[in-house]
Chain A
Amino acid sequence: LSPYVKFFSFCTKMPVEKTALEIVEKCLDKYFQHLCNDLEVFASHAGRKIVKPEDLLLLMRRQGLVTDQVSQHVLVERYLPLEYRQQLIPCAFSGNSVFPAQ
């Protein structure tokens, strides 16, 4: 969990106490638990055993992160580095091929 805790202290732009970081870790634990439960429910509702990107999109919509103004691709472009963006957002390549295929 340490990369996320580091990201937290980067985001706050403020000194953070050590005990507060422990609380952040606890929050992250809870968050992962909720996340896994939600993903399971979404996937089983669609009758699948594999979590697909649509489930994540639905989850982010429910959380109010993705709205009609802000689409998922905008968030991907804003927060993820280039190598990951290339894997997530479909883009035309040479030879009239689109990767990743829709």
Chain B
Amino acid sequence: KVDVSAKWKLTSGKQKKASVQWYVRVSEIPTGKISLLGREPHPQEVFYYESRSCVDEVDAESIISTVQVKLRGRDLYCRMRLQFSFHLTELSFGTFIDFLYIQILLILTESSLLSTTPNTPRTPRHITPSIPSRSLPARQPANVLEEARTRLHVSAVPDSLPCREQEFQDVYSFVESKIMDGTGGCMYISGVPGTGKTATVHEVMRCLQHASDMDEIPPFHFIEINGMKMTDPHQAYVQILQKMTGQKATADHAAALLEKRFSSPAPRKETTVLLVDELDLLWTRKQNVMYNLFDWPTRRHARLVVLTIANTMDLPERIMINRVASRLGLTRMSFQPYSFKQLQQIIMSRLNKVKAFEEDALQLVSRKVAALSGDARRCLDICRRATEICEHSAPNPSSTGLVGMSHVMEALNEMFSSAYVTAIKCASVQEQLFLRAVIAEFRRLGLEESTFQQVFVQHQALCRVEGLQPITVSEGLAVCQRLGACRLLLLEPSRLGVQQRVRLNVSQDDILYALKAD
């Protein structure tokens, strides 16, 4: 029934690692845990089994990793893996084995007891927030286009990021050297949106975590904060403290605790890697948050590596006072916008031999996006939209061809064409006339601003020229304010009445083009 095999591995230093595997029938999983899953376990399903209480005494870093369900013979089995790391000084070898056995037996007896006599569930102590699980499993992609669409989704970050090898290498070697030396440092990463900054850093962290699991580098702790997710820059302290120790404190108290933690020496302190995304939002008038973030790595005992990400290249020079900028240091890296070849390569690697696009179509998308911004997210969105257009335009849903140039062109038009021109084209006759009156009045005055009164005189003249019934002032104001609400015009508050000043929010050429096109 239970097959326990322990594998031992001696690592460098004083730490030991043990990984234990055993098999349990699906029926023996406590019903409470199955109900947490919310559905019948699928043979390929992978889920987490958490039992924190039994390993608190052993200095365990990863308690129980994934639980896999396997078919063995006629019965379904659960394969569980337990991973410990412990210090030889604390436990002798023999006692550890005994201890482990006791723990496992405890787990199993508990689970068998639970499976036989389900008692009332206790109030969970350390509850983790969760969202309700879906009743049906997510739909599998049915055809090639759907397959392509899931692969092209922005959230589907691939394992390796193409075209960012150099940047990956730089960040990796920076962080790795700091971890190896046990020192700290700062790095500033900049680049326009959608150039793979955050994805690259995450990739680096994943690789480093793997390396530390393989005992190639010392273990470290990774924390991530995002300036956009905070209501106040001082919340950064609270979040860092909570992610490091699980403690909750007010901002001031958290800052004091962190200060103490980073400035005092402690044995067995791990290196902490802190990723600060959207750095520009942590700006305060006194800049004390930024100052602290960059000052802590310079402490002798801190062992803190800070990676900061923002969009503008000259942010340190622009908004930081000198003592903050100098602490940030000169380790900078800027992510260039993708060229069209790189964008093409990214899409190709995402699609991974799924044949859904024509070569030319891909090239068109990547060239257009590269010419405008070099934003990979934008590129992926356009491709996804093009697959949707292709699917809709196909005569019958079962036989859809490849995404061609026409579909891509349509998607590009949707995404890049100015909404203003469409809005002007679709406006009513009087609204179009009013825009023409605005231009006429601007030409007469030689200015880019006039009052509603002046424009209205022009409007009435235009009405007579066009053979329309001239509208009243009230209707004219309604027309004007409707255009203002669409942001085609920029207006002053309406309580000024006919004295309110009118400016255009679009270029005159756009209006003339839109009005002339038909």
Q: Do A and B come from one complex?
A: no
Chain A residues near B (Cβ < 8 Å):
none
Chain B residues near A (Cβ < 8 Å):
none
